[in-house]
Amino acid sequence: DIKPSTRVGISPRDTRAKMPVCGVPDNLYVGRQYTSVGDLRSMLKEASAAKFDFVVVDLFKRPDTIPSDGKYTLQPSTVSDLALDSKTWSSAVIGNLSDWIQMETPAQQSYGLQALEQELSWASHLGVYGIVLPPPTSQCELYAAALSRIGLSSICTTQLMVRIPLLRQEDGVEVDGWNSWNQLRLLCDQNPRLQVCLEFSADLPETDQELMRWLGEPVRSVIIPSDAFLTNKQGFPVLSKRHKAFLMQLFRNKVQVILQGLPENVKETETEKYLHYVARLFQSRPAPTAQETFEQPYHDYLQAPLQPLQDNLESQTYETFEKDPVKYVQYEEAIHRCLQDKLAAGKKQLVAMVVGAGRGPLVVAVRSAAVRAGADVKIWAVEKNPNAVVTLRHRCVVEDWRNVEVIEKDMRFWDAPRKADLIVSELLGSFADNELSPECLDGAQRFLEPDGACIPSKYTSFLTPVTTHKLWNDVKNYNDLAHFETAYVVKFHQAFYPTSQIEKCFEFSHPNWELTSNDRYAQIEFTSEVDALVHGFAGYFHCELYAGLSVSINPESYSEGMFSWFPIYFPLRTPVNLKSGQKLTSHWWRCSNDRKVWYEWAVTAPTPQPIHNPGGRSYSVGK
Sign of CA pseudo-dihedral 207, 208, 209, 212: positive
Alpha carbon 2 to chain centroid, angstroms? 16
pLDDT for the residue numbered 79: 76
* Dihedral pair phi/psi, residue 135, rounded to 5°: -70, 150
Is residue 411 part of an annotated ligand binding site?
yes
CATH of domain 458-622: 2.70.160.11
Question: The pTM is what?
Answer: 0.91
What is the C-alpha separation between 104 and 492, in angstroms, rounded?
39
pLDDT for the residue numbered 169: 81
What is the C-alpha separation between 61 and 115, in angstroms, rounded?
11
Residues of the chain with CATH 3.40.50.150: 315-426
pLDDT for the residue numbered 25: 46
User: Pick the catalytic residue: 117, 210, 426, 439?
Assistant: 426
pLDDT for the residue numbered 306: 80
The H or E element that residue 318 is part of is helix 315-322
pLDDT for the residue numbered 265: 63
pLDDT for the residue numbered 246: 98
Q: Is 435 a catalytic residue?
A: yes
Catalogue the E-assigned strands of 38-122.
54-58, 93-96
pLDDT for the residue numbered 425: 97
pLDDT for the residue numbered 479: 96
> β-pairing, 54-58 with 448-455?
unpaired
pLDDT for the residue numbered 87: 94
Fold adopted by 315-426 = Rossmann fold (3.40.50)
- Distances in Å between the Cα of 374 and the Cα atoms of 7, 337, 347, 448, 451 are 47, 12, 12, 22, 20
User: Pick the catalytic residue: 217, 332, 435, 485?
Assistant: 435
The H or E element that residue 521 is part of is strand 520-527
Residues of the chain with CATH 3.20.20.150: 19-284
What is the C-alpha separation between 340 and 338, in angstroms, rounded?
5
Is residue 176 part of an annotated ligand binding site?
no
pLDDT for the residue numbered 418: 94
Residue whose C-alpha is closest to residue 28's, from 50, 51, 5: 51
Sign of CA pseudo-dihedral 373, 374, 375, 376: positive
* Dihedral pair phi/psi, residue 218, rounded to 5°: -80, 65
pLDDT for the residue numbered 111: 85
3-state secondary structure 425-443: ECCCECCECCCCHHHHHHH
* Dihedral pair phi/psi, residue 570, rounded to 5°: -105, 105
Domain 19-284 classification at class level: alpha beta
C-alpha atoms less than 13 angstroms from C-alpha of 276 in its C-beta half-sphere: 10
Q: Is 426 a catalytic residue?
A: yes
What is the C-alpha separation between 453 and 456, in angstroms, rounded?
9
Is residue 384 part of an annotated ligand binding site?
no
pLDDT for the residue numbered 2: 27
Sign of CA pseudo-dihedral 154, 158, 164, 169: negative
Q: What is the Cα gyration radius of the chain?
A: 29
Write out the DSSP string of 336-353.
HHHHHHHHHTT--EEEEE
pLDDT for the residue numbered 26: 66
Residues of the chain with CATH 2.70.160.11: 458-622
pLDDT along the chain (623 residues), means of 10: 27 36 64 88 90 94 80 86 92 93 76 89 92 90 88 76 92 88 96 96 93 97 96 94 97 96 73 92 91 92 85 90 94 98 95 96 98 98 96 97 96 90 96 95 94 98 98 97 98 98 98 94 99 99 97 97 95 98 99 97 98 98 91
Residue whose C-alpha is closest to residue 74's, from 124, 125, 116: 116
Is residue 562 part of an annotated ligand binding site?
no
